[in-house]
Amino acid sequence: MLGSGGREHALAWKLAQSPGCTKLYAAPGNPGIAQEAELVGLDATDHAAVIAFCQTNEIGLVVIGPEAPLVDGLADSLRAEGIPVFGPSQAAAQLEGSKGFTKDLCERAGIPTAGYVRTVSLEQATAALDRFDAPFVLKADGLAAGKGVVIAENRAEAEAALADMFGGSFGEAGAEVVIEEFMAGEEASFFALTDGTAIVPFGTAQDHKRVGDGDTGPNTGGMGAYSPAPVLTSELQAQVMREIIEPTVRTMAAEGMPYSGVLYAGLMLTDTGPRLIEYNCRFGDPECQVLMTRLESDLAKIMLACATGKLEGVTGEFADETALTVVMAAKGYPGTPVRGGAIHLRDAEGHGAKIFHAGTAMKDGQLVASGGRVLNVTATGKTVLEAQRTAYEAVGRISFPGGFCRRDIGWREVLRETEV
Ligand code: AMP
Ligand code: GLY
């Protein structure tokens, strides 16, 4: 397994439980992943080194956690050597790697999404603003670690943001900018596994992108999440499969870019039905942590079926309960996080809570913060409220003076639960 975040800790934890997984290696991993796997110092950008490691150690399945190695074509390099890999090819990973690519695909396949224009210069983009009403949605085309989207309240703000984007603030990712129609509604995430032909729905979740309570402040990679997302009723899920996921998988295959791996659809639930905001070509982080907490099926077996084109007839079984995770981040995040702060987990785990490590490291025998998002404190419950209580009780048992977390993860759903 490649990766080192909370998502990868959750995947490693679940993979290690699979009867067919006799030995698990993780690269580069983190101190939490080290409890589940043997860590190895492999650089995912060095495809030859990854291949050599797999051949020497007779690796039966490679799981690629983050998007960067996928967009970089690591899955192609491994497949060319006959090594089974969970994750899409470089061509298929364009669904996350290029927002313009995805918008064009939606148009060809008739998938409901926001109207858009692709632009390649400041002049073109500024002129294109005429075709939209405020608020303006501006997106750097390429990977930008979740920070490539600007929602500008008025035209002046939009023009300033465009100047910034074309001025190089997102590097290569901002060489092209997609301008989109603003969609109003509630956001939810839908996951599906596919081997290019067969498709298996693989859970729903909602996350909290803003850093502050009440969904305020700057965007982050996600400050917490819960699964399932009750707003995605079974009718809506069937509609998402029919109108969004199935046409995507069909069109990608028909155009010679079969998609294999997990397809993560970010959705806007609008008055006229679910519409696609974006695709990701990997699991969400921290959405993965709550999905894996609920997953009852054998993860390694499902991923191998996905990797080898044998997904037909496979299903993913999830516990009915809610799983909720609270992200503890280092102070300063999503700006420059303060690294090196000591963490004492004490007895936080084991009262119905599970802690996944994200940006942690061991320094002189002490667990310390080494990144922005540091811990994912995860709990289950019969309701979101119950899972939330258990998770925050565990947060209360952790000593991490250099950290902070939101105090209201799951608030929308808790409000809905307590209204009835
Ligand atoms: P993305 O990286 O494409 O998921 O965008 C980041 C966030 O920006 C989303 O989670 C939404 O909150 C918001 N967003 C993106 N596109 C739109 C849109 N067309 N209309 C409204 N909000 C959007
Ligand atoms: N939590 C959002 C993401 O993983 O993209």
Partnered with residue 119 across adjacent β-strands are 177
Q: How far apart are CA 144 and CA 59, in angstroms?
A: 31
The helix (run of H) or strand (run of E) holding residue 48 is helix 47-56
Residue 155 has a CB neighbour count (10 Å cut-off) of 15
Tell me, what's the pLDDT at 172? Answer: 67
Q: How far apart are CA 368 and CA 304, in angstroms?
A: 34
Tell me, what's the pLDDT at 175? Answer: 80
Give me the mean pLDDT over the 71-80 stretch.
97
pLDDT surpassing 90 at residue 230: yes
Tell me, what's the pLDDT at 168? Answer: 75
Residues with a CB atom less than 6 Å from ligand 1: 114, 137, 139, 146, 149, 180, 182-183, 187, 209, 266, 277-278
Choose which residue among 7, 96, 187, 207 to substitute to test ligand 2 binding: the one with the highest number of ligand atoms within 8 A of its C-beta. 207
Tell me, what's the pLDDT at 156? Answer: 94
Q: What is the pLDDT of residues 111-170, one digit of tens each?
A: 999 999 999 999 999 999 999 999 999 998 877 766 688 899 999 999 999 998 888 777
Tokens found for residue 236: 């809506």
pLDDT band at 173 (very low <50, low <70, confident <90, very high): low
Using the mean position of ligand 1's atoms as its centre, give its distance from the Cα of residue 178 in Å.
12
318 and 239 Cβ atoms separated by less than 8 Å: no
Using the mean position of ligand 2's atoms as its centre, give its distance from the Cα of residue 391 in Å.
20
The helix (run of H) or strand (run of E) holding residue 116 is strand 116-119
Tell me, what's the pLDDT at 419? Answer: 84
Q: Is 221 in the pocket of ligand 2 (CB under 6 A)?
A: yes
Q: Name which residue leads in pLDDT, 93 or 100.
A: 93
Give me the mean pLDDT over the 245-274 stretch.
97
Q: Is 284 in the pocket of ligand 2 (CB under 6 A)?
A: yes
Q: Is 287 in the pocket of ligand 2 (CB under 6 A)?
A: yes
Which ligand minimizes its atom distance to the CA of 225? 2
pLDDT surpassing 70 at residue 252: yes
Would strands 25-28 and 2-3 be described as parallel, antiparallel, or unpaired?
parallel
Q: How far apart are CA 159 and CA 125, in angstroms?
A: 9
- Torsion angles phi and psi, residue 46, rounded to 5: -95, 85
Q: Is 285 in the pocket of ligand 2 (CB under 6 A)?
A: yes
Instruction: Output the DSSP codes for 226-253.
Output: EES-TTS-HHHHHHHIIIIIHHHHHHHH
Nearest ligand 1 atom, CA 277 = 16
94 and 101 Cβ atoms separated by less than 8 Å: yes
Tell me, what's the pLDDT at 17? Answer: 97
Q: How far apart are CA 370 and CA 7, in angstroms?
A: 16
Q: Is 280 in the pocket of ligand 2 (CB under 6 A)?
A: yes
The backbone region for 346, taken as left when phi is positive above 0, alpha when psi lies in -120 to 50, beta otherwise, is left
Distance set, CA 377 to CA 45, 226, 328 (Å) = 30, 12, 7
The helix (run of H) or strand (run of E) holding residue 212 is strand 210-212
Q: How many helical (H) and strand (E) elements, i.e. helices and strands, does the chain have?
A: 14, 22
Q: What is the pLDDT of residues 313-327, one digit of tens each?
A: 999 999 999 999 999
CA torsion sign for 120, 121, 127, 129 is positive
Give me the mean pLDDT over the 8-32 stretch.
97
Tell me, what's the pLDDT at 12? Answer: 98
Give me the mean pLDDT over the 367-386 stretch.
97
- Nearest Cα neighbor of 399 from 374, 380, 379 is 374
Give me the mean pLDDT over the 78-106 stretch.
96
- Nearest Cα neighbor of 302 from 291, 320, 285, 316 is 316
Tell me, what's the pLDDT at 2? Answer: 98
Tell me, what's the pLDDT at 394? Answer: 97
Tokens found for residue 44: 């995912």
Q: What is the pTM of this model?
A: 0.95
Choose which residue among 206, 267, 277, 412 to substitute to test ligand 1 binding: the one with the highest number of ligand atoms within 8 A of its C-beta. 277
Tell me, what's the pLDDT at 350? Answer: 84
Residue 151 CA, chain-centre distance (Å), reads: 21
Residue ID of nearest Cα to ligand 2 atom 3: 284
- Nearest Cα neighbor of 281 from 98, 38, 411 is 98
- Nearest Cα neighbor of 36 from 341, 403, 356, 389 is 356
Residue 199 CA, chain-centre distance (Å), reads: 19
Tell me, what's the pLDDT at 189? Answer: 98
**With pLDDT > 90 as the criterion, what percentage of the chain qualifies?**
91
Residue 320 has a CB neighbour count (10 Å cut-off) of 7
- Torsion angles phi and psi, residue 414, rounded to 5: -60, -40
Judged by average pLDDT, the poorest of 126-135, 172-181, 232-241, 283-292 is: 172-181
Using the mean position of ligand 2's atoms as its centre, give its distance from the Cα of residue 10 in Å.
14
Tell me, what's the pLDDT at 308? Answer: 97
Tell me, what's the pLDDT at 148? Answer: 80
Using the mean position of ligand 1's atoms as its centre, give its distance from the Cα of residue 335 in Å.
20
Give me the mean pLDDT over the 85-95 stretch.
97
Using the mean position of ligand 1's atoms as its centre, give its distance from the Cα of residue 51 in Å.
37
Average pLDDT over all residues of the chain: 95
Nearest ligand 1 atom, CA 148 = 2
Nearest ligand 1 atom, CA 266 = 4
Residue with tokens 């603030």: 169
Tell me, what's the pLDDT at 340? Answer: 95
Choose which residue among 106, 149, 150, 189 to substitute to test ligand 1 binding: the one with the highest number of ligand atoms within 8 A of its C-beta. 149
Residue ID of nearest Cα to ligand 1 atom 3: 278
